[in-house]
Structure 1
Amino acid sequence: MENYTYNSFTLKLEGFKVTELSVYPVFLFFFFSYLIIILANVGIVVLIFMDKSLHKPMYLLFCNLPVNDIIGNSILLPRLSSDILQSSSVHIISYYECVIQAFTIHIYATTCHTVLMIMAFDRYVAICNPLRYAAIMTNKMVIKLTVSAWGVALVMVGILLGLTIRLNRCRTLITNPYCDNASLFKLSCEDVFINNIYGLAFTVVLFTGSIGFMVLTYTKIAVVCLMSNNKSLNSKALKTCSTHLFAYLIMLLCGMLVIILHRFPQYSDYRKMSAILFHIIPGCLNPIIYGMQSKEIQKFLSQWFQLRKVLPSQMLNTNN
């Protein structure tokens, strides 16, 4: 008979199946991935706020992505890195820490969709209604869009976790290297029908909503570009939209891979790794994609590096 522990505040996490030879390579991969994510995303946020020429709706809305990447990866990767170094295959975590981790991870995943949706709206207005862009995309509108992106995620995830927290727990083992909603409600011996229904509806609404919105906005953008003979407009649209679409597809494919692998229990190790790569890949690539695409960011970095080279030479001349 299975042993039950009711409402225990100490839970166990099932870690990765890592061999002794691969412990340090995996740890270094997580460590350097986190380092790159923090440096790149913090750097690009600071850069945007320092340079007044970047105080535009497109860049201010983009700031939501690096902030989300920093929060999502900071709650996941440091804990995973420390667990990898421990010899035990099962790691202890408190119930409250587990709930916070699950909440943050779901906020990260949901906000990836909502932020990219408001960025798509910005590109739609800029290309399809350029004469009214300044009147529509005011600072007030940027704030409204940002609050909407985070607000929708907070409400949806708050309900998701609220339905799980209400359940009594009779198990303590989470068959995952980190906490998420599904892992938490599987600890309960109560009826989780409502959790399953809401979780399915949550996923369907989020994916169909974001995919539908992207298809609609990009279809309209494509129609405007095809009907326009303005090569400058078409070039600008292709450049900014391809960057945004590439970032969205990376996030979407990583997320769908995790959902698909959930249907195949025999590939649980691949599912665990793909779930972590869902955080790492966009977090590393988003700053690079947008940094390489933006002439303003390239110009600022070029001027900054030139200034760094000039200052030492001036100091040497002054000393001489």
Structure 2
Amino acid sequence: MENYSYNSFILQLEGFSVTKDSMYPVFCLFFISYILIMVLNLGLLVIIFVDKNLHQPMYLLLCNLSVSDIIGSTHILPRLLADILRPPSERLISYYECVVQAFTTQFFSSTSHTLLMIMAFDRYVAICNPLHYAVIMTNKMLIKLTVSAWGVAFVFVWILLGLTIRLNRCRTLIMNPYCDNASLFKLSCEDIFINNVYGLISTVVLLTFSIGSMVLTYAKITVVCLTSKNKSLNSKALKTCSTHLVVYLIMLITGFTLVVLHRLPQYLDSRKLSAILFVIIPGILNPIIYGVQSKEIRKLLFEIFQSKLCLKLCKR
């Protein structure tokens, strides 16, 4: 039963409803998922940092995506793992901690969109204007694009949370495994019309620019590939663009599913699972997809594996 307390600074996370029999399997599943996210993304960062041949705009932008995935998983999964082992009555969180978690959640989600938009622009320049790529995608341009990706997301989310913080709270129960903006402003008994309008507008604007840039970019790339007889160019375009598109669709589908389920209270358990999968699925698949697609990364991993294998054989 939900508690009512005016502007309480201690909130309760509902979390997952797991039985004693399923508690440890669920814990192990999420723990393994978190370890995979950290190992894959940190491994990708180290590989790109170590190999100077990978110090290219595409891979440096990929580093930003890995950092975003690490932030998105680290602020959610460790806390979730601890809550799974706690009884529901002890899943408490301070209001300030909840606000920080909600901000990071929305920031991580928005930044993923803006980063993938910039990566699409990078692929467009590389395929459609290969001779001018080095002139356009300079270090200065790369820094501007990166700062813009994080900065735009920060401003959007700062206003979003600012509108939520101004509300008085009369409830204490967060109907979610972790804090996000929607769960936070639902604690208020005041009129949340402005929050809903701004949230809807910001989501529409972000998705319009995101999807619009993808459609426009890939339409131009498709035209270039169809009019070009360069098989090498077409093969390169197919590999890089298919990888980027798959990553984008994974993020879009998981995010859109979560947004829809937030508006359907009868599917509460599905929304909770979707909220976690929104973090886990892209976090695991992004580095795998890019790692498998990249010839340079595959080559470096093969050399590392081969050298370790030789060392083992020599010791014998």
TM-score (norm 1): 0.95
The equivalent of 1:204 in structure 2 is 204
Question: CA separation in 2, counterparts of 1:130 and 1:241?
Answer: 15
8 Å contact from structure 2 (residues 3, 172) kept in 1: no
Gaps of 5+ in 1: none
Q: Please state how far the C-alpha of 1:50 moved relative to its aligned partner.
A: 0.3
- One-letter amino acid matched to 1:64: N
Contact 1:17/1:89, CA 8 A, preserved across alignment: no
Report if the CA contact (8 A) 1:16-1:89 is conserved: no
Worse overlay, 87-96 or 231-240: 87-96
User: Which deviates more from structure 2 when the two are superposed, residues 255-264 or residues 282-291?
Assistant: 255-264
Structure-2 residue corresponding to 1:147:
147
Hey, which bits of structure 1, 4+ residues long, moved more than 6 A? none
The alpha-carbon deviation at position 194 of structure 1 amounts to 1.2
Aligned mates of 2:99, 2:312 — CA distance in 1: 51
How many angstroms does 1:290 deviate by?
A: 0.4
- The aligned residue for residue 234 of structure 1 is 234
Distance 1:82 1:3, change over 3 A: closer
In terms of mean alpha carbon deviation, does 80-89 or 172-181 score higher? 80-89
Alpha-carbon separation, structure 2, partners of 1:17 and 1:230: 56
CA gap 1:258/1:310 in 2 versus in 1, 3 angstroms: same
Tell me the CA shift for residue 155 of structure 1.
0.5
Query: Residue in 1 aligned with 2:15?
Result: 15
Spell out, residue by residue over 1:65-99, the C-alpha distance to the aligned partner (whole angstroms, 9 max, x if none): 11001000000001111111113366110011101
Give the secondary structure class of the aligned counterpart of 1:63: helix
Partner residue, 2:187? 187
299-308 vs 281-290, which moves further: 299-308
| TM-score, structure 2 normalization | 0.96
How many Å separate the matches in 2 of 1:310 and 1:30? 35
1:40 aligns with 2:25: no
* Map of 2:77 onto structure 1: 77
Partner SS state of residue 142, structure 2: helix
Q: Does the 8 Å contact 1:15/1:89 carry over to 2?
A: no
Q: Which residue of 2 is the match for residue 63 of structure 1? A: 63
Amino acid at match of 1:203: T
Match of 1:173 in 2: 173
Match in the other structure for 2:95: 95
Residue 283 of structure 2 corresponds to which residue in structure 1? 283
1:18-29 pair list within 5 angstroms: 18-29=18-29
Give the number of equivalent residue pairs.
315
Give aligned-pair identity as a percent.
70
What amino acid is aligned across from residue 283 of structure 1 in structure 2? G
2:60 counterpart letter in structure 1: L
Q: Distance in 2 between matches of 1:199 and 1:61?
A: 27
For residue 270 of structure 1, give the secondary structure of its aligned residue in structure 2. Answer: helix
Q: CA RMSD in A?
A: 1.4
CA 273–300 in structure 1, closer or farther in 2 if over 3 Å, else same? same
Q: Does 1:120 align with 2:125?
A: no
C-alpha distance in structure 2 between counterparts of 1:91 and 1:6, whole Å: 19
Q: How much has 1:313 moved relative to structure 2?
A: 5.0
